[in-house]
Chain A
């Protein structure tokens, strides 16, 4: 079976020759090819070469487009920061004054960073899309204003300035729909959306119900392809029932601290659950530990056809031991078929 077939089987609740699995190895391709990070994340072909090596090393069932959400914010301005072994980040948000934040419209896709994201998706889908789902990682529409203005300003606006919040949500919706449409046109199979500002560890229940969920429902519902809801760095098990009704969301990436069986209880049998290894923690995980941890998760979900072993949180760190990654794969092979 191909990765695509395995993932489709998981979606349909059907048996497979083995459990589908993936690790978020966007940055890791640079390590495998020895390409300088700056070149890797500016030249789409370098990214493709890195992902070829990811496939050669691990052959995961799902591949990821560049995990560089800051490029979306940097399309509006601001300062970037590049470090040797990390993806670039936003050093300074583009706007101090929220009134200066204007939608880019068609200009969004002309930005070099956003153009890189779309072109890398096109190359990846062109080479691997027939056999492996290509997942494009995009900023949640409710989180983009935090990247444009800073967390504090966005929180302040959400809490105390509903008119301005609505205007920024409109900007985000336009951004999200344009970018995801371009990514799907480029061949992405689905998008994964890490969502922070829908978590009740960040926002109030009132904000979630009145502003956040309606905005997400609108954006996800209008999105041209499926959206996988990613936990965004916080546990979501307690709040999963709020998100379960969002349209066009076939699956959820759970936090490593979440209970997968509880998540299954909340979501019911039909929805895809991905998790719940911690990508960043693999840096400090010995191969034998990674294998044991993966085996434990796989054993716990043995009867769950709609489960995919995956890493959550952020990208797998640059310096992670490749043997640790191979140990995860070995655990998948050891677990055998999904009957």
Chain B
């Protein structure tokens, strides 16, 4: 913790959590910016935003809250990060990574990828987002160009998730498997967890908010559990 009375912080966290669940984006952002004005953006993120996002992520993975509420949480985080960047304040952005993100070839469902990007940025990761319909070669070329050790590939449906195999094959063909790790995600992996291994993924996360610890593990080369 970077400062502040514990009781006050706990109350603020509770209020912020409620605002997120009620989709009160403006109110939540105003609260975080007010906090940042007094104590700095780093404290606003570390003491307030991150713990609440963690709670949202846990509830999301247990299906206690909705995709919309997770999405609003992402938008709030994005708004605060933009404000922090434009204020040239004390928040340290882009201190980890970079990592590559993109939707696999033929996939145009960008929601999950964008949410992962927001939560990774909030956790200090530098993101190179290649967008939708990214070819296997483009993923690997970008990872080499930027020195990324993790590629995050998103696919919503079974038909497009199958295309992730080609990304794994590209890594294998260039002798990069093990050096560059493959995070996979999207709705279909929640329905069929075994697909993570089948398509050549090194790991996945139960929700976008839980992407940062996954990328931490993959970046440092920690092994992932079966089906993780």
Contacts A89-B157, A160-B25, A204-B21 given: A155-B110 contact, CB under 8 Å? no
CA distance A156 to B109 in the complex (A): 14
B67's nearest neighbour on chain A, judged by CB, is: A202
Q: Kindly specify which of B68-76, B89-97, B173-181 makes contact with the partner chain.
A: B68-76
A202 touches B68 (CB 8 A): yes
Which residues on B sit within 8 Å (CB–CB) of A81? Answer: 106, 159
Nearest CB on A from B89, distance (A): 26
Q: Does B108 contact A (CB under 8 A)?
A: yes
Q: CB of B63 within 8 A of chain A?
A: yes
Chain B residue with Cβ nearest A199 = B66
Whether B22 sits at the interface, judged by CB under 8 Å, is: yes
- The reply to whether the CB of A86 lies closer than 8 angstroms to some CB of chain B is yes
Q: Which chain A residues border B110 with CB–CB below 8 Å?
A: 150, 152
Task: Say yes or no: A203 contacts B159, CB within 8 Å.
Answer: no
The docked-state distance in angstroms from the alpha carbon of A91 to that of B104 is: 12
Report B-chain residues with C-beta under 8 Å of the C-beta of A203: 66-68
Contact between chains at A204 and B159 (CB < 8 Å): no
Query: Are A204 and B68 also in contact (CB < 8 A) when A86-B159, A152-B114, A160-B25 are?
Result: yes
Q: Please, which residue of chain B has its CB at the minimum distance from the CB of A197? A: B68
Q: Are A155 and B114 in contact (CB under 8 A)?
A: no
Q: Mark A190-229, 1 if CB is under 8 A from B, else 0.
A: 0000000001111110110000000000000000000000
Q: Find the residue from B23, B68, B71, B111 having the highest chain A CB count within 10 A.
A: B68
Contact with A along B59-89 (1 / 0, CB 8 A): 0000100111101100000000000000000
Specify which chain B residues have a CB less than 8 angstroms from the CB of A150 in the assembled complex: 108-111
Q: How far is the CB of B137 from chain A (nearest CB, A)?
A: 20
- Chain A residues within an 8 Å CB radius of B67: 155, 201-203
Q: Give A203's nearest chain B residue, CB to CB.
A: B68
Q: How far is the CB of B72 from chain A (nearest CB, A)?
A: 6
Complex Cα distance A151/B72, Å?
14
Answer whether residue A3 sits at the interface, using C-beta atoms and an 8 A cutoff. Answer: no
Specify which chain A residues have a CB less than 8 angstroms from the CB of B109 in the assembled complex: 150-152
Chain A 153-167 interface mask (CB, 8 Å, partner B; 1/0): 001101110000000
Residues A200 and B114 in contact in the complex (CB < 8 Å), given A86-B159, A89-B159, A150-B109: no
| Complex alpha-carbon distance, A156 and B110, angstroms | 13
Beta-carbon contacts under 8 Å, A271-313 to B: none
Query: Is the CB of A100 closer than 8 A to any CB of chain B?
Result: no
Taken together as a complex, chains A and B put the C-alpha atoms of A92 and B131 apart, in Å, by 13
Nearest Cβ on chain B to A85's Cβ, whole angstroms: 10
Q: Which A residues touch B157, using CB under 8 A?
A: 89
Cβ proximity bits B104-122 to A, threshold 8 Å, 1 near / 0 not: 0010111100100000000
Give complex CA distance A150, B156 in Å: 12
Across-interface contacts of A1 in B (CB, < 8 A): none
Min CB distance A95 to B, Å, is 12
What B residues does A91 contact at CB under 8 A? Answer: 106, 108
List 25 interface pairs A-B (beta carbons < 8 Å), by A numbering: A83-B159, A89-B159, A91-B108, A92-B108, A93-B108, A151-B109, A152-B71, A152-B109, A152-B110, A152-B114, A155-B67, A155-B111, A159-B25, A159-B71, A160-B25, A200-B66, A201-B63, A201-B66, A201-B67, A202-B66, A202-B67, A203-B66, A203-B68, A206-B23, A207-B23
**Residues of B that sit less than 8 Å from A by CB:** 21-23, 25, 63, 66-69, 71-72, 106, 108-111, 114, 157, 159
A interface residues with partner B (beta carbon < 8 Å): 81, 83, 86, 89, 91-93, 150-152, 155-156, 158-160, 199-204, 206-207
**A83-B159, A204-B22, A204-B69 known, 6 other contacts, Cβ within 8 Å:** A151-B111, A152-B71, A155-B67, A202-B66, A204-B23, A204-B72
